[in-house]
Amino acid sequence: MSVQAVVDKLKARFGDTVLETVEFRGETTVMVKKEEIVAVCTFLKGDLGFNFLTDLCGVDYMGQAPRFMMVYQLYNIGNHTRLRIKAPVEEADTTIDTVSDVWATANWMERECWDLMGITFNNHPDLRRILLPEEWEGHPLRKDYPVQGPDREPYQGRLQ
């Protein structure tokens, strides 16, 4: 099944949930509403063969609305196609349902996403920080988190 056929099936099954489809450099990205993310992923895995979750991550588009974007990279081991699913997440409500029931591998990926980007995953079995210490404050991959750390002045260069 080509990627286009997959997109068509998604649209036929979910209708308005599919917000937009983008093609860039031969890669297809489908944006869906975050409320339906588990249903979309279950459908993609069960009916369309995307049995492998390659990776997931959050992107912070600070200053835009919605501020966050969840990105899921899927792979079909049967016919070796890739698909990217995105779901916008509002700044006022930085939560999304976990997909760790669909692919077990999402467990640690979502922990990392919570740790570094501060997206909360509803119904996640074990949502703890994974790379940073438990007592860490803030989420470093957010755009408003300074690269040199929160308690230091930014580097001004050697010559003043």
Partner 1 sequence: MANLETMTINMGPQHPSTHGVLQLVLELDGEIVRKATPHIGFLHRGVEKLAEHRTYHQILPLTDRLDYLAPMHNNLGYVLAVEKLLGITDDIPERAQVIRVLLAELTRLKSHLVWLACHALDIGAMTVFIYAFREREHIMDIYEKVSGARMTTNYFRVGGLSADLPDGLEKEIRDFVNSMPGHIATYEGLLTGNKIWQKRIQNVGIISGEDAIDLGVTGPSLRGSGVDWDLRRDQPYSGYENYDFEVIVEDGCDTWARYVARLKEMHESCKIIHQALDKLKPGPVLADAPQIVLPSKQDTVNTIEGLIHHFKIISEGFKPDVGEVYVGVENPKGEVGFYLVSDGSPRPYRMKIRPASFINLQALPKMCEGSMIADVVAVIGTPDIVLGEIDR
Task: Give the residues lining the site for partner 1 (CB under 8 A).
Answer: 24-25, 27, 29, 51-55, 57, 59-60, 71, 73, 77, 80, 82, 84, 103-105, 107-109, 112, 116, 129-133, 140-141, 145, 147
Q: How far apart are the C-alpha atoms of 90 and 22, rounded to whole Å?
A: 21
Tokens encoding 110: 């979502």
- Given the complex with partner 1, which of 17 and 76 has the nearer CB atom? 76
Q: Cβ distance 89 to 66 under 8 Å?
A: yes
Cα(19)–Cα(32) distance, rounded to whole angstroms?
5
In the complex, what is the shortest distance from the CB of residue 105 to partner 1, in angstroms, rounded to a whole number? 3
CB of 93 to partner 1, least distance (A): 21
Classified as helix, coil or strand, 139 is coil
Q: Which CB atom, from 13 or from 43, has the smaller least distance to partner 1?
A: 43
Closest CA to 56 of 78, 34, 77, 26: 34
The least CB distance from residue 35 to partner 1, in Å, is 23
Give the shortest CB-15-to-partner 1 separation in angstroms: 25
Question: Is-contact 136 118, C-beta < 8 A?
Answer: no
Strand order in the sheet with 68-76: 18-24, 27-32, 81-89, 68-76, 52-60
Q: Which is nearer to partner 1, 35 or 47 (CB)?
A: 47
Minimum separation from the CB atom of position 148 to partner 1 (A)? 10
Nearer to partner 1, 54 or 120 (CB): 54
Give the β-pairing of 95-97 and 120-122: parallel
Closer by beta carbon to partner 1, 13 or else 21: 21
